[in-house]
Amino acid sequence: MGHDNHHGGHEKTNPHAVQETDVELTQRIRSIELIKHNPNVFHVNPFDFGKSLEIAGGLGFEASVATGAGFGWWYYAQRTRLNPATFYTGIALAFSRIFLGAVVGGWVGYLKFGDRQRLHNAWVAERLRRRYPDSLNLTVHDLWRFKGVKADQHYYRWT
C-alpha cells in the first residue's frame, strides 16, 4: 500500500480518526505511538535556526530576550552609578548582568510565546530516531489514519 515496514501487505489503521494533514498533526501534542509511525514528520533539526526560533516563540521570544538583557544592563548601570567598578570587574559584571537578564527574558518569552507542543513532539521524535535508527527509513504519510493504532514495526518490539 505504499507504506514501509507493515506486516503482510496490509496495515492496521483507524478509519474513524479525524482527518488532518501531516503538518497539522505536528501542531499539537501527540502520543508516542502515533509519532512511532513516522518520527521524521515530527523531527526538527536543532541546528535549523529558523525552526528552533519558531518553536521558542519567534519575535516575541526575541523581544523578551532583548528586554531582559536591557533590564540587566539597566540594573548594572544603576548599581555602578555611585560605586564604579574597576575596568575588568566592570566588564565581567556588565556581561554577567546582561547575560542573566537575557536568560530570564528568554525563559519568560518561551513560557509566553513558545510552542511547547511542537517541542514535545520534536523531542520524542529525536529520541525515537536515536534509539531506533531503522525508523529513519519510514515514509508513512497521512498519519491521521494511525491515531490510536499501535506501531507494529519489528524494531519497536521488545525481545
Q: Where are the domains of the chain?
A: 7-47+136-156, 58-113
Task: Compute the Cα dihedral for 121, 123, 128, 129 and give only its sign.
Answer: positive
Please tell me which residue, 58 or 154, carries the higher pLDDT value.
Answer: 58
User: Residue 156, Cβ neighbours under 10 Å: how many?
Assistant: 17
Is the pLDDT assigned to residue 20 strictly greater than 60? yes
Closest CA to 40 of 150, 132, 155: 132
Residue 8 has pLDDT above 90, yes or no: no
CA–CA gap between residue 153 and residue 159 (Å, rounded)? 13
**How far apart are the C-alpha atoms of 96 and 93, rounded to whole Å?**
5
Reported as a pLDDT band with limits 50, 70 and 90, residue 10 is low
Per-residue pLDDT averaged across 97-106, rounded? Answer: 97
Identify the pLDDT of residue 13: 80
d(CA 98, CA 76): 8
pLDDT-wise least confident of 24-33, 67-76, 100-109: 24-33
